[in-house]
Structure 1
């Protein structure tokens, strides 16, 4: 497969699978499964950021200080974007749209805001996936897998907000699927642009690492602290470890598969 084929396939498949999995969980699965998914996603994101994406960015750039400075700047950028509600997440059950007093037009606006933010988020994910694949196919696959892992609990939150906002199950699914196409759009636009700007790939990889670290540490981990009991804490640690192990083992498996 060509690099472009990998980019399109992983962007399209990852987005669709995360939305469909989220729909199944939101409609069929038990609520406590979501917290397990979030713990696993944290491990996958941190594993991909520190074991795969960041090392590749440093190697490609040849400047460890410059690369880590880009990561630091990226974390600050994502913080500002989220503050401005341009990057909107709903990873945990206590988000705005789940409050029982939210209803009517206010609740519908929450659902619309979530979809706008999620579409932007998916577009950026597509850019990061394309940058990773243009650096190395193995890195692209790992990056796409990590992004898909954290998209599932996020899409569950988005799906539930749309249902609470008054959307039917079919419309909520359709809107989430449509939003996921922004990943493909972002990936294709990045592929066209980065083909002429290959020197930008290391910086985008550093931003990809910053995105993964920020989502894991700022958005996901705080939700885990709402369950401080020993049993829940042990489960969280084991699932985070499982997420990290998945990335490590995926690297070995992909290396064997691609030869």
Structure 2
């Protein structure tokens, strides 16, 4: 009696399946989706590079010594993007009567109301100064117990460009006096504040003389991070691999069929 044998079917791939319309469509759709995911991944990497460049620029500007506003404007004119985050000093007088609130803010894990006060400058322009936040429920504006000094003041802070308007628009003050805003939208503020409002704000850091009463909690410098762009890029590339491999496996399984069997003696290895 001869050795015992075993038989296995030999799987073969039929390339004719690649000519079937449904699998042609599946492959085309899979390729399109894969390329789209790859493109999104590279887009996130581009965003990461942009963020790194912006962070480097911001760090360099924040490390510069403060200069008078006239010097900053003289060098950069009205190019707001070139002035962002730079330290500057200004002198003027607070227009306390036109101070306004922006409630519902969180600074350093503390909730409060943002206080912004127009500053009249010697050249007749108006600079919006973000003085900080005060506790929720503080009467005003002007913020009771946190009034700025009267007369001339010298301020040091960093330049910002305000905030983007909310999509639904701001509430129009019934008496024509701006008292509360959702965002520090300079274009909107300019409609209600007398004078030529500059297209920048000053995030207050130092003030001489100091406030006679309470001092609003200052807005700290923005923490520069790279965001989630790298994680999103990895996610999109992973999706691309999953789709490409998934379509390939489906096509292979659909086109694979059992062929003739091959016999192997007992104890032999099938490679």
Q: Which has the larger radius of gyration?
A: 2
Q: Which has the higher helix share?
A: 1
Smaller-chain TM-score bracket: under 0.3
TM-score of the superposed pair, with normalisation by structure 1: 0.24
Q: Which has the higher strand share?
A: 2
